Amino acid sequence: MTESQERSAGIRLADEVRALLVDLHTLDPTAEVLGEAADRVAAVRDSLGDVVRWRWYEIPADEVDEDDEARLRVEYRDHSLFRGGRSPLAPPLAVTTGGDDADKPIVVGEVRVDRCHEGPPGRIHGGYVAGLFDDVLSGTLGLVDAGQAFTARLQIRYRKPTPIDVDLRFEAWVERHSGRRLIARAHCLAGGEVTAEAEALFVTVSRDQESLQGTDTT
């Protein structure tokens, strides 16, 4: 199996698991049906084997070449919490760049969130909305070639409930960039109406840093 075929198979499997999660939230099967389904899922899990998939940052740099690192980074993104096509936990979120003003490009995130992430009735959990904002806002780093960075602060203003099962559009842009600090803002649109706004502070770091501990953000 080629890398492309393996990736396609992984995305298809994630799609099925994602659909299964929705079914568990929407359907009302009998105990017998649930028990049979659990046995089948257990059998599928056994069939996957026990070979561990290494993440790109878990392998010593001197053991991989540039091609290997690029492939491993793609795999890592494929399994990301919000965008990952191979992650059944991801909606998944589709992120692109655009904007009508060439001098002020924006990052656009498009997604439809199902009831697996429901908070109040018919509404997306506020914490999940914050996570989507964080992911889309992180895309603004690429607009100014800021490099690798961590979120130092994320502020959300909820203007109205954000509905589930509706096409959402996130738009993010760079507000200010100076040295290692980048401030970006974003809003979430549902049916053309703003449901929430966000502002994030990112601090750039070297590639080998794994956390912001000890990082001066002043």
Q: In whole angstroms, give the CA distance from residue 115 to residue 132.
A: 15
Report yes or no: 204 and 178 within 8 Å, Cβ to Cβ: no
Per residue in 202-218, pLDDT (tens digit) is 999 875 554 444 444 43
- Give the pLDDT of residue 216: 41
| Secondary structure (DSSP) of 52-63 | PPPPGGGS-GGG
- Give the pLDDT of residue 207: 59
Whole-number CA gyration radius for the chain: 20
Q: In whole angstroms, give the CA distance from residue 125 to residue 127.
A: 5
Q: Give residue for tokens 């809003």.
A: 187
Query: Quick check: pTM over 0.85?
Result: yes
Residues of the chain with CATH 3.10.129.10: 93-218
Per residue in 159-199, pLDDT (tens digit) is 999 999 999 999 999 999 999 999 999 999 999 999 999 99
- Give the pLDDT of residue 104: 85
Class of domain 93-218: alpha beta
Cβ-Cβ contacts under 8 Å for 108 (sequence gap 6 or more): 95, 96, 97, 98, 136, 169, 170, 171, 172
Q: Is the peptide bond before 88 cis (omega within 30 degrees of 0)?
A: no
